[in-house]
Structure 1
Amino acid sequence: MEKFELDILGCGSATPTTLHNPSSQVLNVREKLFMIDCGEGTQLQFRRSKLRFGRLNYIFISHLHGDHCFGLIGLISTLALLGRTGDLTIFSVAGLEDVLRTEIDFFCRDNPFRVKVETFDPKRSEVIYDDRSVSVKTIPLLHRVPCGGFLFQEKQKEAHLLPEMIKFYNVPIRELARIKQGADYITEDGVLIANNRLTKPAEPARSYAYCSDTAYNENIIPIIEGVDLLYHEATFADVDAMRAKQTGHSTAVQAAQIAKMAHVKKLMLGHFSARYVDNQILLDEASKIFPNTILANEGLREKL
């Protein structure tokens, strides 16, 4: 099975700690790397995770709080030092390009590659990226500033041919493409050979949803319904639910409620407040509602 795996580079919230880095992660889809948020220190975490800078072509920024984008200019500078020449595309809410362009013009005036910023509307759910392997759709989130999450949906692969059956029925090469796409085969004698005798189904397409930063928001449930993995912020424990509401964040309990209602397969908690020395309290609270819950942590590589 081809790669569809998530590397956590940072899962802390705004206040720096020695326990967690600011928000950033990388999704590897069939050896294409997609970065989601880029907090301070992301490039160091990227190297520690032994990811390849040359495979990173797309970055998705959820919103313009520093703990989600302060690492961009450092990463861009490093990519230039490494000799990058290909375009780097950043998807973001409005406002990033004005700030980033000033930084690039000052610190990276001889940048050998083009940085393109594509703006999305955080109030709408729409496809902002699409290729042969995956599509990316935005998820409107509730925060103190415009903010959007991201749904990564792998494209369903064609069925696998059964070589022994293809040979047995003497299927011509010209028919193979149609059969892989689901067509039956009719022999020269007019006998219909059902597609399921010639193929076996491909592995199910996988999906991943990133929802940070956000207050409790049931409106996202239809968008993330049934995803294989949901990363949902859990900045606060239930005792601090009022603080979560005031700051536009979620508790671990609320994240678990969303996961349960959306029938996701697995929940990963992240964006932890610096006030908690041990995030086990968040895991314990969420697991009571949604048992298949795990904690994000720097260096974690989750295979879907």
Structure 2
Amino acid sequence: MNLTILGCYAATPRTFTNPTSQVLEINNRLFLIDCGEGTQVQLRKNKVKFSAINHIFISHLHGDHFYGLIGLISTFNLLNRNNPLTVYGPVGVKEIIKLQLKLSNSWPQYELNFVELSSNQSEIIFEDDRVIVKTIPLKHRIYTNGFLFNEKPKERKLNVAAVQEYEIETCYYQNIKNGRDITLDDGRIISNELLTFDPPAPKSYAFCSDTVYNEEIVNVIKNVDVLYHESTFLDSEEVLAEKTMHSTAKQAAKIAKLANAKQLVLGHYSTRYTSIDLFKEEAQSVFEEILLSDDGVTFEF
């Protein structure tokens, strides 16, 4: 599971910082999460393969989280994209994008789909044979969701030496990897545990963009491997965080601790601060395993 941060700063793009966008690679699937201004430039800088992105998740319709979407959709068309593209986001995202495409006479030649979200309850919005994606209802000034990415359990690994020892025919190998016991010709039942090894534990990633401190999300993200939680402000601006419905670094750490997350990635920093290291220092007073996102950084989990 790899996470590439394309942008992680709040409000406006600057010459050396970018608004929110990131690419998650999990179980050989590539997902784009949020799409602030400059996202396609950052994709190029970080050598992300454009054609591998088939699903884009938009947390909410504040500009620093989706103003790069129309440009990326248009560029896909100029690159002669063939694969369908699906955008998941709040009700209204389809109208906004289709109006821009209509007035600019820029309808894409590839299939463009929208899944619009309106529920205030966590729901599955994407599932294939490898990954499940659920919403994480957040509390912000407008309707907002985070996203929980869960890797599906992989099949068990065959113990080649064991199956050869019991002279098990290859036609049974898939059943064994699926977890079944095997009955030999002499009637003996060989436990699957003797014939296989445990697969790697499934990984999970939770993206929690703009939100006021909200313990209601803890049950949705319980025991997550990696939690990205916005930390726009430091504790000294807690009143401002509550007023603007954002979180502090310390509050993000509290959520990580309550959720029993293994690691916490901080981001969506206000540019009023002189160093992002201040966010890590504050968060570690509550939760130890802190990573600082920054534009162009890739984490390997």
Report the TM-score, using the length of structure 2 for normalisation. 0.97
2:142 maps to 145
Question: Matched residues in 2 for 1:154 and 1:31: separation?
Answer: 10
Identity %: 45
Kindly report which structure 2 residues correspond to 1:1-304, keeping only aligned pairs within 5 A, or say none: 4-107=1-104, 109-304=106-301
Question: Matched residues in 2 for 1:183 and 1:89: separation?
Answer: 37
What value does the CA root-mean-square deviation take over the aligned residues? 1.1
* CA-CA distance at 1:221 after TM superposition: 0.4
- Contact 1:58/1:89 (<8 A) preserved: yes
SS at match of 1:25: strand
Unaligned 5+ segments in structure 2 are: none
Aligned residue pairs, count: 301
- Going from structure 1 to structure 2, the CA distance change for 1:86 and 1:108 (only over 3 Å counts) comes to farther
* CA-CA distance at 1:110 after TM superposition: 4.3
SS at match of 1:263: coil
* CA-CA distance at 1:20 after TM superposition: 2.0
Deviations along 1:69-111, whole A, 9 cap, x unmatched?
Answer: 0001111111111110221100001011111101112335242
> Which stretches of structure 1, 4 residues or longer, exceed 3 Å deviation after superposition?
none
Letter in 2 for 1:5: N
Deviations along 1:126-180, whole A, 9 cap, x unmatched?
Answer: 1000001100000000000000000000000010001111111111233222211
- Contact 2:13/2:37 (<8 A) preserved: no
Question: Matched residues in 2 for 1:99 and 1:207: separation?
Answer: 31
- Contact 2:54/2:86 (<8 A) preserved: yes
SS at match of 1:264: coil
Question: Matched residues in 2 for 1:67 and 1:25: separation?
Answer: 13
Question: Matched residues in 2 for 1:278 and 1:63: separation?
Answer: 27
SS at match of 1:83: coil
Question: Matched residues in 2 for 1:122 and 1:7: separation?
Answer: 28
Unaligned 5+ segments in structure 1 are: none
